[in-house]
């Protein structure tokens, strides 16, 4: 078996790393916020393809999951019940509206908002996580748009070089 990684796949690795670095820098700048959730969102938003539409679709998933997570958060049940209920509602809504492409992103966002470690349930933490997830989504979108722009410039430059006979 021969292992190989294409140029497009290397760009994907670069996009993921760039997103992680940007969110980590934001984490260092604003340590009071859980920006590590933004890093997860970046990785969920960027993709190997340089497709303008894909980040928007994935951001919709994060928005849906965050909204469900926030709505379920205020119910008076133990965390395990809230997680099951939140995931169940999120997946059901996605499937009912034929949004299969965003199920994973939506479910991940629901879990991020609902699952609170030993700190107890705090609605401010849930809101901070929604904010950090959205920051990660925006970072992922900007990275994708940057790489799409670079790709278009490279393709145009190659086309110009062919027409002028230069390489």
Does some domain include residue 29?
no
For residue range 5-37, list pLDDT tens digits in order.
Answer: 888 889 999 999 999 999 999 999 999 998 989
> Containing domain of residue 81, as a range?
53-156
Do residues 114 and 18 lie in contact, with contact meaning Cβ atoms separated by under 8 Å? no
Is 122 domain-assigned? yes
Task: Write the pLDDT tens digit of every residue in 104-118.
Answer: 999 999 999 998 766
Number of domains in the chain: 1
167: in domain: no
Q: Per the structure block, which two tokens stand in for 28?
A: 């260092």
> Where do we find the tokens 């965390």?
79
What is the pTM (predicted TM-score) of this model?
0.84
Is 22 domain-assigned?
Answer: no
Q: Among residues 120, 117, 142, 126, which one has the least CA distance to residue 59?
A: 142
Instruction: Assess if residue 75 is contained within a domain.
Output: yes
Question: Mean pLDDT in each 10-residue stretch from start to end of the chain (167 residues)?
Answer: 85 95 96 91 88 87 96 93 97 96 94 79 87 95 93 82 63
């Amino acid at each position: 078996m021969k292992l190989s990684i294409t140029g497009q796949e290397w760009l994907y690795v670069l996009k993921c790393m760039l997103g992680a670095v940007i969110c980590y820098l934001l984490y260092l700048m604003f340590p009071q916020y859980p920006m590590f959730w933004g890093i997860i969102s970046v990785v969920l938003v960027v993709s190997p393809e340089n497709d303008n539409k894909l980040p928007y679709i994935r951001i919709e998933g994060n928005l849906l999951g965050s909204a469900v997570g926030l709505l379920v958060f205020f119910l008076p049940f133990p965390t395990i019940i809230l997680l099951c209920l939140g995931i169940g509602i999120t997946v059901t809504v996605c499937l009912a509206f034929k949004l299969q492409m965003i199920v994973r992103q939506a479910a991940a966002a629901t879990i991020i908002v609902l699952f609170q470690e030993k700190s107890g349930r705090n609605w401010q933490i849930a809101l901070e996580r929604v904010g950090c997830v959205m920051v990660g989504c925006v970072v992922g979108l900007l990275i994708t748009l940057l790489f799409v722009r670079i790709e278009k410039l490279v393709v145009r430059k190659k086309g110009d070089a062919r027409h002028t006979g230069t390489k």
